[in-house]
Amino acid sequence: MISKRTSYVRAALWSAVIILLAGCGRDQAGEKAVAPALPYAGQTVMVVAPKLNAALISGPIIEEAERFEKLTGAKVRVVTPGWGETVARIRESLSGAAPPFDVFVITASWSGPLFAADTLAEVPEAIRAQVGWDDILPIYRQNLLTWNGRPYALPYDGDVVTLYYRRDLFDNPEYRKRFQARYGYPLASPATWSQYDDIATFFQGWDWDQDGEIEYGIAGNRMVNGSAMLIFLARAAAYAKHPDDPAYYFDSDTMRARIADPGFVRALEDHVRSLSLGHGHRLGQYRHRRCGQSRIRGTRQGGLRTAAGRRPGL
């Protein structure tokens, strides 16, 4: 997201590709063209991004900033406050109480106040063309990156809740017969949270791969102060987010928090009950083929690729 400060800084932000292409030519005589003077020398771009693991969010930005500086002559200062402090730093920047930032890296859930306050510059059409704007899934492009039809942000890091399951177990004739007899429907990839819980219960606590060790029904993200909260909210959405109601966390008219509403309460009860259907919070048990299902948050930085030890059935 780009703040409204000065147009020359915004131009510097979007010039990296143009400068790169301009420096690749040769003159008509075949001699290497003289490199033009860097057009943005002496200017500074301020970026604020939450500080997480070095491989996440701020790390790639810091690495790319060095390349951007060489291409443009501009300096890039990347400020990396803690997760909770980032919102406060952005508010200070917009109020003028601190040096303004030009680029905000935030989660989508923080974007509403920024979009609605008319404090951001729209993403230029030329940049949208370069990043394949129309190829971004509509659910992200329309709901997370735009406000009233105006594009204010670009996608950077995205997570999805992904289900892996052991296809060899689901295809086992004996297990299919036993599951059908117990639950009254075929053993297959779950379509509801109730089916998900049934499958986890079925595979919990017995030696279903006959290796002499007890296996488990699920490996899920249960990291305190980490992804457990997001897994809970994903489950709660099935109970608490009605398609005809645009709001989820709060009532959009009264701003009353909905965390104590029946849908969220049921999701929490289900989540607590599921804690007995696995082995800790780590994905390692699934890598070692000791869990029937694995529900994880996957990211574009490799979470999906490294999560499972064998080819998933999905």
The pLDDT value recorded for residue 118 is 78
Cα–Cα dist 229/151, whole Å = 29
The pLDDT value recorded for residue 74 is 94
The pLDDT value recorded for residue 220 is 72
The domains located in the chain, with CATH, are: 2-151 (3.40.190.10), 159-306 (no CATH)
Cα–Cα dist 149/152, whole Å = 9
Say yes or no to pLDDT of 288 above 80: no
User: pLDDT tens-digit profile of 170-190?
Assistant: 999 999 999 999 999 999 999
More confident residue, 209 or 186: 186
Confidence grade of residue 238 (pLDDT, cut at 50, 70, 90): very high
Parallel, antiparallel or unpaired: strands 75-79 and 2-3: unpaired
The pLDDT value recorded for residue 180 is 98
List strand residue ranges (DSSP E) for 114-228, in order.
Answer: 120-121, 146-147, 150-151, 159-165, 216-220
Confidence grade of residue 296 (pLDDT, cut at 50, 70, 90): very low
Say yes or no to pLDDT of 311 above 50: no
| Mean pLDDT across 31-41 | 71
Kindly state the percentage of the chain with pLDDT values over 70: 73
User: pLDDT tens-digit profile of 260-286?
Assistant: 999 999 999 998 888 888 775 444 444
Whether 115 and 5 have beta carbons less than 8 Å apart is answered as no
User: pLDDT tens-digit profile of 140-165?
Assistant: 899 889 999 999 999 988 777 788 88
Element (H, E) at 180: helix 173-183
